[in-house]
Structure 1
Amino acid sequence: MTDTTDSAHHLGWGLAALVVAGNMIGSGLYLLPATLAPTGSSSIVGWVVAAIGAVTLALVFAALGRLQPDADGLSGYAERGLGRFFAFQTALAFWTACLVGNVAIAVAATGYLGYFFPVLKTPVGAVFSCLALIWLTTGAYIVGARVAARFAALALAIGLAPIAVAVAAGVVAFDPAVFAASWSPSNAPLAQSVPASLAIIFWAFLGVESAAVLSARVKDPARDVGRATIAGVLLAAVVYIAATVAVFGVIPAGVLVQSSSPYADLIARVFGASIGGVAAACTVIKATGTLSGWVMLGGETARAAARQGFLPSGFGLGDKTPIANPLLGGAIMSVVAVISNQPTLGGQFGVLVGLTSVLSLAIYGLCAVSLFRLAGRPRDRVVAILGLAFSVAAVAAAAPGYILPTVAFFAVTSLAWLWVRKNVRVSTVPAA
């Protein structure tokens, strides 16, 4: 079992920042340039807008970490500002988002493994690959949260290698004419192209809340949650923007839209095709590391929920995470991987990403409202209002087709709350 009472096993703000950045710089980055090709190089504006929104949300979580350093994760923040009903909703929504999003990451990693083993592109092969990745990373979390965090940080360093090489290739071969010609392939104005790109881009910024979720594992939450969150978001934003400019400055949008490995193609154009396999291998490692970080977040969310009385005690005993927690999480993810299986990996990935994005944005909005109620100074209230406004706008832009299922989810959890309030006793009540 993992115990947060031993400070030697707590995370410093630097390692926590790498977990934040690693959870955001996930496997989706490696496919996004091709996905954004119809929008063109003008998608760089969308990246900037999304980065500003992500920094705003980072400030929300930094303020919450400063005001409520002893709160246990996102549900703890929601309880302090909004009460136990919204804490229950936040805990279950974020836990669900983690479990569903983890399967999406496993699907994406399987797609990259298919570069080496084409059989994994088949529905049956994909399911077995996803299950293997889920249980590999679940095992890392069982060993300990610090081991999972170090694995995620190491994978971030390895996974950034092909991106760094791609950016270098972009610097060497950048052609302003290619970048300009790809600005808007459909000739749409920015008022149309930017919202369209935001619908795809925001998936890359999920994870901004990582340090807040791990607040019980951070050495000095009042100081380090804010530092880690802002540093992680800024690192991810720099990587995203530099990589996008590099790709669109070398590969025309019409060619890019057909690519299944944009950065490998960029590297091959400048430095030769033999490096493509190395880049693909690094991508697999990064995707697995991202999955490891999110498995840890899901387990910590379930532990905090059990501590608050929202889940059975088998998910957590105070500050300790019983082995049953990751085992049950792994079992649920395995079921999701099987029942969400689609004829193509892209189809399965899209279904999982849509629900994860909207659930996460709803949680961000609740945390912003909680900050508004907890804030004692005008600056924090302004941050809360901006964070809520961005969350609402991003829901409308990111995945409007998944709003109805999300509403249904909260309706079901609202009914479940009636039973929890009546039958479940709180094991540890956080200070008001």
Structure 2
Amino acid sequence: MSAAKKMSVGQLTMLTAVNMLGSGIVLLPTKLAEVGAISILSWLVTATGSLALAYAFARCGMLSRKTGGMGGYAEYTFGKAGNYITNYTYGLSLLIANVAISITAVGYIQVLFNIKLDSLQVGLATIALLWITTFANFGGARITGRIGAVTVWGVIAPVVLVSTIGWFWFDSSVYAAGWNPHDKAWYEAAGASVAITLWAFLGLESACANTDAVENPERNVPIAVLGGTLGAAVIYIVSTNVIFGIVGNAELVSSTAPFGLVFAHMFTPLVGDIVMAAMVLACIGSLLGWQFTIAQVYASSANTGYFLPIFAKGNKAGTPIIGMLVLLAAQTALALLTISPNLSKQFDTLVNLAVVTNLVPYILSMAALMTMQKVSNVPANKAMVTNFIAVVAAAYSYLALYSSGEQALMLGGVATIFGYTLFGFVNNRLIRLEAMNNSVPTQTVSAQHLSADPVPVNNLNKATLEVQS
């Protein structure tokens, strides 16, 4: 990419923050209200852990000489298998997260149009949105990117408004009444919502995944990751706590459109409806972008041999339609398998599973940072500080895994182990590709030789940049 087309540090910081400030926050006030305003402790834990992750990812971005974002980082310690499992779990996390985003939109649609859907109808409406946004991408990324760049403000604008002018409607007695409705101990409250708050921060690694598209990455990536994460943390903590002082806890817990509800309290029901409509459009725009992004992630991985070649086959517009349809089938099955009598519970199930699978690349990257520093000959005292922060980030990741619950841990663990089973087939294909590239008989190319080679271009989140820019 030419220097003229590369992003500035400000643009990358904004991209990082916007990736986190998307549809992930739309249902958060309702989920946090189940714990109470004391869930601010979870925010503080997650903000601390996310900043540690952000700093560690910034160091990874500065030290790594391999392409591929988190996959490239993992390869330093875990070889091709680490790169593959990072691609696999990251792609799986995006697949699951898109179903959760679709459910979020359905929740707001119910309130906006004053309709009540049963569990099967919620599932079918979720699937319908997934199908519509997938088919809308068949023409390529250009229109999708323009739509997403506009609709994302349907989430960001209400969140920023609540964080700033919402204080004029803040009532300390309402906040106090909803502080700790279930009388949880402080340590229990601090851990109760770690997984759901981390859901809001997923995307903090996106600046690192786009290192090839930014000016002076060694300087600008750390600034963008830390700045974007800190900015998102402030907005998240302020906005959700303002809402706790405007809407009563019981009313907030039962809502599937909390931001529409708070604007109805602040102004009029009509304003609340307008906000809900904006957030529905934002969720649909986000789905458009992420459905294209996930297809590109799988296509990029297929091109490097990690996934089946079918995911890389595109039409004249460069859209991997067959891969999109395969992923859509998987999302349809997932939406049906997670149907719950309560929309909020189905959202919980999907979010926790998305968090568990996304934490695998995080943990692998933190472990690889030690090797990266050794390879880069980082001075011992500086490496010690970075390693300590990486350990803190890894510890937080394990806390988030624990907070996700037994079901998500079990399903996520099975999915990850299954990925390693698939790697047996993938590795054979990689060896054949390497043999053909080097014009060497397949039998003479060992797995040990292969694992030492640099990974081909495979930017996990490069498509995110293309879709949102």
| Pair in the same fold by TM > 0.5 | yes
1:123 and 1:245, CA in 2 relative to 1: closer, same or farther beyond 3 A? closer
> What SS does the aligned partner of 2:37 have?
coil
Who is 2:331 aligned against? 333
Q: Deviation at 1:75? A: 1.6
1:262 aligned to 2:286? no
Matches within 5 A, 1:344-363: 344-363=342-361
CA distance in 2, matches of 1:115, 1:255: 14
Who is 1:87 aligned against? 83
Q: Deviation at 1:402? A: 1.7
1:323 aligned to 2:320? yes
CA distance in 2, matches of 1:147, 1:71: 28
Matches within 5 A, 1:204-223: 204-218=200-214, 221-223=217-219
**Contact 1:73 1:216 (C-alpha < 8 Å) held by counterparts:** no
Who is 1:408 aligned against? 414
- The letter of the residue matching 2:169 is A
Q: Deviation at 1:221? A: 4.5
> What SS does the aligned partner of 1:83 have?
helix
Who is 1:364 aligned against? 362
Who is 2:390 aligned against? 384
**Contact 1:211 1:228 (C-alpha < 8 Å) held by counterparts:** yes
> What SS does the aligned partner of 2:111 have?
coil
CA offset digits 1:253-273 (Å, max 9, x no partner): 244323333332222223222
1:417 aligned to 2:423? yes
Counterpart among 193, 203, 208 of residue 197 in structure 1? 193
Who is 1:430 aligned against? 454
1:271 aligned to 2:267? yes
- The letter of the residue matching 1:417 is F
Counterpart among 49, 55, 59 of residue 53 in structure 1? 49
CA distance in 1, matches of 2:90, 2:140: 21
Q: Deviation at 1:128? A: 4.9
Larger Rg: 2
**Contact 1:169 1:267 (C-alpha < 8 Å) held by counterparts:** no
1:393 and 1:291, CA in 2 relative to 1: closer, same or farther beyond 3 A? same
Counterpart among 36, 39, 43 of residue 40 in structure 1? 36
Aligned residues: 426
Of 59-68 and 22-31, more deviation after overlay is shown by 22-31
CA distance in 1, matches of 2:254, 2:342: 16
Q: Deviation at 1:92? A: 0.9
**Contact 1:60 1:371 (C-alpha < 8 Å) held by counterparts:** yes
CA distance in 1, matches of 2:368, 2:302: 21
**Contact 2:108 2:256 (C-alpha < 8 Å) held by counterparts:** no
Matches within 5 A, 1:173-322: 173-218=169-214, 221-316=217-312
Q: Deviation at 1:14? A: 4.0
Q: TM-score, normalised by structure 1?
A: 0.86
CA offset digits 1:173-193 (Å, max 9, x no partner): 222233233322233331121
Q: Deviation at 1:16? A: 4.1
**Contact 1:47 1:241 (C-alpha < 8 Å) held by counterparts:** yes
1:21 and 1:129, CA in 2 relative to 1: closer, same or farther beyond 3 A? farther
Counterpart among 117, 121, 124 of residue 121 in structure 1? 117
CA offset digits 1:289-323 (Å, max 9, x no partner): 33244334423432342243211334349xx9652
1:430 and 1:306, CA in 2 relative to 1: closer, same or farther beyond 3 A? farther
1:128 and 1:134, CA in 2 relative to 1: closer, same or farther beyond 3 A? same
CA distance in 2, matches of 1:239, 1:385: 26
CA offset digits 1:301-356 (Å, max 9, x no partner): 32342243211334349xx9652444543443344334444444334322222211
CA distance in 1, matches of 2:5, 2:131: 23
**Contact 1:64 1:77 (C-alpha < 8 Å) held by counterparts:** yes
CA offset digits 1:130-179 (Å, max 9, x no partner): 34433454466655557655544432322222223333453112222332
Counting aligned pairs with the same residue, the percent is: 30
Unpaired stretches in structure 1, ≥5 consecutive residues: none
Unpaired stretches in structure 2, ≥5 consecutive residues: 438-452, 457-469
Of 184-193 and 87-96, more deviation after overlay is shown by 184-193
**Contact 1:213 1:297 (C-alpha < 8 Å) held by counterparts:** no
Who is 1:399 aligned against? 405
Who is 1:162 aligned against? 158
Superposed CA RMSD in Å reads: 3.1
**Contact 1:22 1:153 (C-alpha < 8 Å) held by counterparts:** no
1:145 and 1:12, CA in 2 relative to 1: closer, same or farther beyond 3 A? farther
Q: Deviation at 1:47? A: 1.0
Q: Deviation at 1:237? A: 1.2
- The letter of the residue matching 1:362 is V
1:294 and 1:62, CA in 2 relative to 1: closer, same or farther beyond 3 A? farther
**Contact 2:107 2:257 (C-alpha < 8 Å) held by counterparts:** no
Matches within 5 A, 1:109-148: 109-117=105-113, 121-123=117-119, 125-138=121-134, 148=144
1:284 and 1:166, CA in 2 relative to 1: closer, same or farther beyond 3 A? same
CA distance in 2, matches of 1:40, 1:272: 25
- The letter of the residue matching 1:291 is L
Who is 2:71 aligned against? 75
